Structure 1
Amino acid sequence: MLSVSRLVLAGLAVLSGSGFVKSTILQNGQVRITDFKNTTVDRTSLSLKTYPRNATEISYQGRWDSNFVSWWSAPGLKFGYTGSQVGITFGPSTSPGVLIGYRISGLDWQFTNVTGGQTHLLVGPETPGVDLTAPVSPTTFEMRVTNWAYGVQIESVHVGDGQKLIKLPDASRRIEVIGDSLAAGMYTSYEGLSSWAYGVGAGLGNTDYSITAYPGICAADQDCWGNPRGQVHQWFYTSDTSWRAAEAHGTDNPEPWDFSKHPAADLVIINIGTNDQNSHNNVSAPVYIDALTKIVQGVHGKYPNAQVIVMSLWLGFSQTGNTYASVSSKGFVNEVRDMIKMFNSDEYLSNPVVYDGASKKLSQTNKKTRPFVHLFNTTGILQHNDIAPQWHPSDVGAIKVASHLLQFIKLTFGWELEATGPEVFHETLYWNDEPNY
């Protein structure tokens, strides 16, 4: 079965069909052994209680459309349950063989490939830890789609006969990450579940998170590496810019994201522009800054109380003589700093402007606001060996970015780090077990 699926051109995603590409996970050039359990079952052979996909007990994380199809990076669901069985029946819009991660309570991630029209028993009597006493009741179940290009459709959820699902309370904090392949987790081992964006959301603890990121996409509203629209447009819609979305509803008829039906983010992290600065896409600095400004204004319009972090770009390293040098100086450095100064100026804060992506209109709110845009300078966090051979962070690079950003959030906003032990990054426990060498 498929482990992790990718189809790339020129180092950035260009997805042109629905076929899978079989891939491997490499650790310093050595193949990692992956043996994912086949969780498919015949539902008629089990005694189960079934809940519809719109059951109020199910909390959907990230962006899902009105047909309960998932989009963008690391979308998922979570709920509490009783008993020792949890199954999910996936609908026909599920990508064939897509890899999902799932876990119970605070135990480690497990992985399996799922396909539409099948029921998968993800928790059963033989699941490790299923009979262990939970420090906090009830036992929880969480599922996330690993790959940014593929998705699942939920048909129904099952527990053991006589058991029940339990609605979990919303987390006390909520963040959203807006970005491209760097945030989506392209080329990390488990993609969305190995990305720095996921590392920030899960690493904060007691935080719901959404990653609205897709490889190859620009901030500017133009075609970039096969993405027909930019984030200044697409962020306002439920689906991403994939071939899967084009097949579902065409490129000009996406389903708007109903912000009013979802809790507002407390913090939005924006890391986009790597594709804009690439000469292949021919985006000028003024066009990029105009799009990035409108993204921030759009966020402020939809989440008026949210703080915004804009990350400076990192663009890899090149060998210079007998050392390596960062090329990040090409990443609109001065332009981004000037934009943030504009947002935090007295003139702007006295008459802030919001942007509506649907109508493409700017409007003044005439409501004074406090400074809400912050620069996170990524300079010096990554070194050349933290960038994988295909110009994206390695697993370790993603962990470094997440770790620094977590501390920035704590120091800037006073958010305590409330994760208390459950695994965040899967299969990153490397060590030397030879004491005498």
Structure 2
Amino acid sequence: MRGLTPLLCFVSLLPPSLSTILQNGQARDTRFVDSRIASIDANTTAWKTYGPNATELAYKGRWDSKHISWWAAPGLKVGFSGQHVAITFGEHTSPGVLVAYRVAGLDWQMTNVSSGTHQLVSPETPGLNRTVPSQLPLTLEMRVTNWAYGVQIAAVHVSSTSELIKVPNHAKTIEFIGDSLTSGMYATYEAFSGFGFGIGAGFGNIEYSITAYPGICLHDANCWGNPRGQTYQWFQTSDTSPRAAQIYGTEPERWNFDAHPKADIVLINLGTNDNNTANNLTSEQYISSYISFIPKVHKIHPDAQIILMSLWKGFSTVGNSYKQIGAFTDGIFQVYEHFKDEGYVHYFNSTGILQHNDYGPGSHPTDFGHIKIASHVMQYIRVKFGWEFGASGPEVQHETLYWNDQRDY
């Protein structure tokens, strides 16, 4: 199964997860691993069990006090010894949610998980037996591919003679604040194919968090079934999904920023939903909310460089070609001008990066559109702030390796 892709205006009415990955309307050939095994209890001598609050576990993105994941592409990373790692998922795990996982930086594997125990590492796992310097443990990384589903970590298990090993965080951190564009809606693997993930994982040597959810506005208003906007929700641990409402109602946990590394860069891509007439918001409300939001973000991340990203809303036909449609083009630049002299706010003009065929029928970028956006933003960050690329070959965008090796065709 895969994550859901409901229409944006019905984001609050989530159907059961689908069993296929759609690619241009056709089913993509997928080979998801069947990872479910019998439950592991305290009396099982073949396994050593760690609780969800074990210090060896590094949670990526936003997870609440019950170890439930939220927002887009949240993850878990841990080093381990031995040849066996299993995870027991708690009752608040979305049934059949698609997760990606890999050993070291090798190819991602995909599996559907529900509450219960799933073995992600066995002697047959690709990359398990490769030669690794003794001071570097093998790592297991797991990411939830969707933006509306999630998992709950109840326990992590290794073989009885093995152990989990804490992996240090990278020195730099970036946070993305966005909506359906940043969270990868309608991309084949959704958040796992979105440009937020592409940038964060593409650098290879940074930590990243994608606080983005489809349909959400910047202004604190009900937009496409999202009861609150990012000027409120960003300060909460959970997102605006129906599962969040089911678990927490109208009283979500506040996110403890002080318990997590401060961001060095915050990239904001918000306003596409504010700009939709269905949500009945004015440009004055949008600009005013943006201007009040930025100092709050800066107060929490006082050393962060904040990037305001211009918006795109697809393409319209002009003559015999197409023209990109923007949203709040002057408004976002006006917000940048308001803070320009402060020195920590920057403007990234995305106009012209995407062509018509980089945009899908669902008014969102294709997988390759997301890759183009990610590539341009990464170069901008490298040139503007001196961040060097640290990826040395790990797979990032899954199943985008296409080639032709036939000379006669």
**TM-score when scaled to structure 1?**
0.90
Which of 414-423 and 314-323 deviates more?
A: 314-323
| Shift in Å, 1:9 | 4.2
Shift of 1:341: 1.2
What is the Cα deviation at residue 31 of structure 1? Answer: 2.3
Distance in 1 of aligned mates of 2:105 and 2:19: 29
Structure 2 residue identity aligned to 1:259: F
Deviation at 1:129, TM superposition (A): 1.7
Q: Do structure 1's residue 16 and structure 2's residue 38 form an aligned pair?
A: no
Moved segments of 4+, more than 3 Å? 26-30, 43-46
List runs of 5+ in structure 1 lacking aligned partners. Answer: 350-370
Alpha-carbon separation, structure 1, partners of 2:407 and 2:347:
44
Mapped pair 1:167 → 2:166: yes
Aligned to 1:421: 393
1:274 maps to which of 272, 275, 292? 272
1:112 is paired with a residue whose SS is strand
1:348-367 map, 5 Å:
349=342
**In structure 1, what residue type is equivalent to 2:118?**
H
Distance of 2:388 and 2:208 partners within structure 1: 16
Paired amino acid for 1:150: Y
Question: Match for 1:263: what amino acid?
Answer: P
Query: Which residue in 2 is equivalent to 1:102?
Result: 101
Partner of residue 223, structure 1 = 222
2:131 to 127, 130, 133: 133
Which residue does the alignment assign to 1:400? 372
Separation (CA, whole Å) in 2 of partners of 1:415 and 1:408: 9
Structure 2 distance, partners of 1:268, 1:334, is 21
Q: Does 1:431 align with 2:403?
A: yes
1:311-336 deviation line (CA, Å, top 9, x unaligned): 000110012231111111xx111121
Task: Quote how far apart the aligned CAs of 1:433 are.
Answer: 3.5
Query: 1:7·1:21 contact (CA, 8 Å) conserved in 2?
Result: no
Offset of 1:430 from its aligned partner? 1.2
- Is the Cα contact below 8 Å between 1:317 and 1:325 reproduced in 2? yes
1:302 matched to which residue of 2? 300
Identity of aligned residues (%): 54
Q: How does 1:50-65 map to 2 (within 5 A)?
A: 50-65=49-64
Contact preservation (8 Å) 1:5, 1:23:
no
Q: Is the counterpart of residue 41 in structure 1 residue 37 in structure 2? A: yes
Deviations 1:135-165 (A, max 9, x none): 5711011011011000000000011111111
- Which deviates the most, 405-414 or 126-135? 126-135
Match of 1:382 among 334, 338, 354: 354
**C-alpha distance in 1 between matches for 2:18 and 2:25:** 17
Letter paired with 1:47:
A
8 A contact 1:4–1:24 mirrored in 2? no
Match of 2:231 in 1: 232
TM-score, normalised to structure 2, is: 0.96
- CA distance in 1 between partners of 2:88 and 2:357 (Å): 42
- Could you say which residue in structure 2 is the equivalent of 1:31? 27
1:82 aligns with 2:81: yes
In structure 2, the partner of 1:391 is: 363
CA shift digits 1:286-329 (9 cap, x unpaired): 1001122222111101001110011000110012231111111x
Please list every run of 5 or more consecutive structure 2 residues that lacks an aligned counterpart in the other structure.
Answer: none
Q: Distance in 2 between matches of 1:319 and 1:25?
A: 30
Q: Which residue of 2 aligns with 1:357?
A: none
Residues 249 and 420 from structure 1, CA distance in 2 versus in 1: closer, same or farther, beyond 3 angstroms?
same
User: Residue 25 of structure 1: CA displacement?
Assistant: 2.6
Matched with 1:322 is 320
> Aligned residue pairs: how many?
405
- Contact 2:271–2:286 (Cα < 8 Å) also in 1: yes
SS in 2 for 1:121: strand
Partner of 1:124: 122
Confirm or deny that 1:372 pairs with 2:344.
yes
1:94-120 Cα shifts (integer Å, max 9, x gaps): 00010000001010111100001x110
- Once the two structures are superposed, residues 49-77 of structure 1 have per-residue CA deviations (whole angstroms, 9 ceiling, x without a partner) of 10000000000000000000000000011
Give yes or no for contact 1:8–1:15 (8 Å, CA) kept in 2. Answer: no
